[in-house]
Amino acid sequence: MWFPLLVVLGLLLLYRWYRQSLILDNLAGKYVFITGCDTGFGNILAKNLDRRGMRVLAACLRETGAENLKKETSSRLQTVILNVTDSESVSSAAKWVSSVVGEQGLWGLVNNAGVSVPCSPDEWLTKEDYSKVIDINLLGMIDVTINLLPFLRKARGRLVNMSSSVGRLTMTAGPYSLSKYAVESFSDSIRRQMKFFGVKVAIIEPGAFDTQITSVDATTGDLMRTWKNAPEEVKQSYGEDFYKNAIKAAEQVKHFVNKNVHLVPQAVEHALTAVHPWTRYSVGLDAKLIYLPLSYFPTFFTDFLLTLPQPKPAQVM
């Protein structure tokens, strides 16, 4: 009874594997614009695509990042300085892209630039803390996308937006998860609009990876800053022990992050080069086995599960 079902399931999985293994021809010479190439995923992706013979337009925040990247890549790769929170910088970069790609258009746009901190309890934060993250992770992404969409439409290319598993299930306090939920919404909306123009849109949802934006120093440093600046009444409500436990928890994260950072650029590469790219890429075992499944569970269950290990504030003990 079960054997025919297993055979059908096996054939479906085999077909799925075959379909996703199909890669486009004539990728060499196609232009791809990537934001946030100074370090991390963007830096690795730029090098990978350059080795494939694609023409990478790497946007870096700093001159040092651009210079270091050019030293490690071929003459095909070109760099531009870009601050995604500055509309004039975005507009200038778009004009530069137009002059480079010409009538060929832009095959790929990868919105990779982002920050993860602050991720402190919301009562420790200010509106400015939220604005900083949302400006980079969301509004900057939207600005870059809108400015470069005409070139993507010309090439009937690919748009790849860097989201996160916490854009499906809120696991961290602060503005990061909020910004990634919004990235998911924007990506879904633009995907449906661009379908008529032949532009495909993919969303990358990594789990916890060992990158600069998830470093222990960045996280603990920001916890120290936000705790120090929090109102006195808030400090009394949470208590010194809560703060110390938050620092310890941040320091322990380094034992659980995925060290294989190349998995994320590989997912982006597939989205840019596959005949049939996926709409969403959950990258990492934690993304596939924890974040994604839990996002479908009833709210009361996930609330119970995620608050269980958390330290309790002083005034509720």
Which residues are known catalytic residues? Answer: 176
Cα separation of 271 and 280, whole Å? 9
Pairing of strands 78-81, 55-60: parallel
Return the axis-axis angle of helices 127-134 and 175-194, rounded to nearest 10°. 30
DSSP three-state, residue 209: strand
DSSP three-state, residue 295: coil
C-alpha 20 chain-centroid distance? 22
Q: What are all long-range contacts of 17-22, with beta carbons under 8 Å and residues at least 24 apart?
A: 19/275, 19/276, 20/270, 20/274, 20/276, 20/278, 22/274, 22/275, 22/276
Place of tokens 């870009």: 82
Beta bridge partners of 92: none
- Residue 297 DSSP label: S
C-alpha 147 chain-centroid distance? 20
The one-letter amino acid code at 147 reads N
Residue 141 near residue 161 (C-beta atoms within 8 A): yes
* Cα-Cα-Cα-Cα dihedral sign, residues 178, 115, 61, 194: negative
Cα separation of 250 and 54, whole Å? 39
What is the CB neighbour count within 10 angstroms for residue 303?
11
The one-letter amino acid code at 316 reads V
Alpha carbon separation from 308 to 191, 235, 303 (Å, rounded):
37, 22, 8
